[in-house]
């Protein structure tokens, strides 16, 4: 499927001779050199990216990195100097003012850092603003505004004024205003930066919850990498008006493109970036009917301390090497069945579970079973693999345990 939003070779140069600045950029001069020599400010350079429908694309950068300029070029609040911004087939960068208005009214809405609610309008009027601009009648406007407010849980405040609401509530109204016109694309310019940390976290979760239902195409601007990693299906790291790296949260954390990104990533809570699926191994399992000898052999071969036992397709439990060998010594190998030493109270997680949710499970010492939706075993996580991933030493890709990492190091 075609991406919803396609940005091609977009540059924004503030100054009276953008062509000159562009030539200088192409010759490899930096932003600072161009400013010094020609007085032109490069806002955004060479931005090219796609945003798939129903994805959240996060642009992360520090202040002055050009991220706010970039997002404003997507709805034409700032006109790109060069390049194309394609929403479906319309180019925001070059279309007529009427067409730009039509796109803004129907396809793309924006949520602002400082909420930008109109202080002279009630909450319902604020939320209905986009509809009013479109020429929707008062009754329908009110009804749609209330519906949008309901989504963010503020329907009761419809007739209050923005000044009566707290910051978090005001931004919910900002979000409702963005959603009221039912746009396909939502631009969010640091929407949660002005909120205190607890409210911010709450809003992030709420946004993810809403996104599950609404499936908007979202471009989200932030200066907080944690926020970016939490929300973004794909993340672009921006520096000096340029994308330094574009990728998923896991790609960026496990494989930073340069020292700049690496410095950011160093402080990241990796337990919230990686999921159970990233550290799981292919399961080594035996059937319940297998002999103790087979099970011990399986563990020895795969160098593991425990093995999962399946009863048909379902997981029956786990047996540890220690328990099984002790029992085997006591009863003789032939007289020991796996059912005797089966731990049925095994730790389990779903594939999407974040690593930080596994800490408690990993501390049992038993490998954690990764189950799919139907309760089938699709992977096993060794406790040490969780901590290896957290320590972040691992430069290699996912699906590798501490074991193979050591191997790789020794080889290099």
Partner 1 sequence: MFSPSDLLVIPFDDWINTLVRDFLVPNFRPFFRALQVPVTGVLNMFEAFFQFVPMLVTTAAFALVAWRTVGRGMALFTIIALIFIDMIGLWPETMTTLSMIVTSVLFCAVIGVPIGILVAGSNKLWAVTRPILDIMQTIPSFVYLVPIVMLFGVGMVPGIIATIIFALPPIIRLTNLGIRNVRGDLVEAAEAFGSTRWQMLWEVQIPLALRTIMAGLNQTLMLSLSMVVIAALIGAGGLGLTVYTGLGRLDVGGATAGGVGIVLLAIILDRITQALGEQSGVRTPSLRQTLVSLFRPRAAATGETKKSGN
Nearer to partner 1, 117 or 319 (CB): 117
C-beta of 114: minimal distance to partner 1 in Å? 6
Q: What are phi and psi of 368, to 5 degrees?
A: -90, 130
C-beta of 133: minimal distance to partner 1 in Å? 5
Q: How many CA atoms lie within 13 A of 268 on its CB side?
A: 27
Nearer to partner 1, 179 or 265 (CB): 179
Which of 41, 53, 90, 101 binds partner 1 (CB under 8 A)? It is: 101
Hey, how many other C-beta atoms are within 10 angstroms of the C-beta on 321? 16
321 counts as binding partner 1 under rule CB under 8 A: no
Nearer to partner 1, 216 or 242 (CB): 216
Nearer to partner 1, 132 or 142 (CB): 132
C-beta of 160: minimal distance to partner 1 in Å? 11
Question: Are 70 and 242 a contacting pair, CB within 8 Å?
Answer: no
Say how far apart CA 277 and CA 392 lie, in whole Å. 16
Pick the piece of the chain touching partner 1 (CB under 8 A) from 85-93, 118-126, 198-206, 382-390. Answer: 118-126
Question: Are 84 and 4 a contacting pair, CB within 8 Å?
Answer: no
Say how far apart CA 133 and CA 71 lie, in whole Å. 22
Which of 114, 142, 201, 223 binds partner 1 (CB under 8 A)? It is: 114
63 counts as binding partner 1 under rule CB under 8 A: no
Q: Tell me the β-bridge partners of 109.
A: 186
Q: Mark out the alpha helices in 14-164 (DSSP H runs).
A: 18-26, 31-38, 67-74, 97-106, 123-127, 129-134, 138-151
Q: What order of strands is seen across the sheet that includes strand 314-320?
A: 285-287, 306-311, 314-320
Which two structure tokens, joined as six digits, stand for 351? 């594939």
Show Cβ contacts of residue 203 under 8 Å, excluding neighbours closer than 6 positions.
168, 171, 172, 191, 192, 195
77 counts as binding partner 1 under rule CB under 8 A: yes
C-beta of 42: minimal distance to partner 1 in Å? 22
Residue for token pair 């562009």: 22
283 counts as binding partner 1 under rule CB under 8 A: no
C-beta of 302: minimal distance to partner 1 in Å? 57
181 counts as binding partner 1 under rule CB under 8 A: yes
376 counts as binding partner 1 under rule CB under 8 A: no
120 counts as binding partner 1 under rule CB under 8 A: yes
Nearer to partner 1, 181 or 254 (CB): 181
306 counts as binding partner 1 under rule CB under 8 A: no
Nearer to partner 1, 118 or 359 (CB): 118
Pick the piece of the chain touching partner 1 (CB under 8 A) from 14-22, 26-34, 125-133, 337-345. Answer: 125-133
Show Cβ contacts of residue 206 under 8 Å, excluding neighbours closer than 6 positions.
152, 172
142 counts as binding partner 1 under rule CB under 8 A: no
- Of 397, 400, 353, 346, nearest to 372 by C-alpha is 353
212 counts as binding partner 1 under rule CB under 8 A: no
256 counts as binding partner 1 under rule CB under 8 A: no
Nearer to partner 1, 73 or 381 (CB): 73
Nearer to partner 1, 109 or 279 (CB): 109
Nearer to partner 1, 109 or 176 (CB): 109
Say how far apart CA 382 and CA 324 lie, in whole Å. 18
Rounded CA Rg of the chain: 27
- Of 396, 399, 384, nearest to 280 by C-alpha is 399
Say how far apart CA 164 and CA 401 lie, in whole Å. 54
104 counts as binding partner 1 under rule CB under 8 A: yes
Counting residues that bind partner 1 (by CB under 8 A) gives: 25
Residues that bind partner 1 (CB under 8 A): 72, 75, 77, 101-105, 109-110, 112-114, 116, 118-120, 129-130, 132-134, 161, 181, 187
């Amino acid at each position: 499927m075609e991406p919803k939003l396609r940005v091609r070779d977009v540059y924004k140069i503030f100054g009276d001779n953008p062509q000159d600045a562009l030539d200088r950029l192409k010759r490899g001069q930096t932003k600072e050199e161009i400013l010094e020599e020609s007085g032109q400010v490069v806002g955004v350079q060479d931005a090219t990216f796609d945003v798939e429908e129903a994805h959240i694309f996060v642009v992360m950068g520090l202040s002055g990195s050009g991220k706010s300029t970039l997002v404003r070029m997507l709805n034409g609040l700032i006109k790109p100097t060069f390049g194309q911004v394609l929403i479906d087939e319309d180019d925001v960068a070059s279309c007529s003012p009427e067409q730009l208005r039509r796109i803004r009214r129907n396809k793309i809405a924006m949520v602002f850092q400082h909420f930008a609610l109109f202080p002279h309008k009630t909450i319902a009027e604020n939320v209905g603003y986009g509809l009013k601009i479109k020429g929707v009648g008062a009754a329908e406007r009110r009804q749609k505004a209330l519906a949008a407010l309901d989504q963010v849980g503020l329907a009761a405040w419809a007739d209050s004024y923005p000044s009566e609401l707290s910051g978090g509530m005001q931004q919910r109204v900002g979000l409702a205003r963005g959603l009221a016109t039912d746009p396909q694309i939502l631009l969010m310019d640091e929407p949660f930066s002005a909120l205190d940390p607890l409210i911010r976290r709450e809003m992030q979760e709420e946004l993810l919850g809403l996104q599950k239902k609404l499936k908007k195409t979202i471009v989200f601007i932030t200066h907080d990498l944690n926020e970016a990693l939490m929300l973004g299906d794909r993340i672009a790291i921006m520096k000096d008006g340029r994308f330094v790296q574009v990728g998923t949260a896991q790609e960026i954390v496990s494989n930073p493109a340069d020292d700049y990104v690496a410095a950011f990533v160093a402080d990241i809570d990796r337990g919230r970036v990686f999921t159970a699926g990233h550290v799981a191994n292919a399961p080594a399992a035996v059937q319940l009917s297998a002999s103790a000898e087979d099970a011990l052999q399986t563990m020895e071969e795969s160098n593991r301390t425990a093995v999962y036992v399946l009863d048909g397709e379902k997981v029956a439990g786990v047996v540890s090497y220690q328990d099984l060998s002790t029992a085997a010594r006591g009863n003789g190998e032939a007289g020991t069945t796996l059912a005797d030493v089966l731990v049925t109270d095994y730790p389990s997680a779903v594939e999407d579970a974040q690593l930080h949710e596994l800490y408690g499970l990993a501390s049992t010492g038993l490998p954690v079973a990764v189950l799919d939706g139907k309760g089938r075993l699709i992977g096993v996580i060794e406790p040490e693999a969780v901590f290896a991933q957290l320590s972040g030493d691992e430069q290699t890709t996912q699906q590798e345990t501490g074991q193979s990492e050591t191997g790789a190091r020794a080889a290099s």
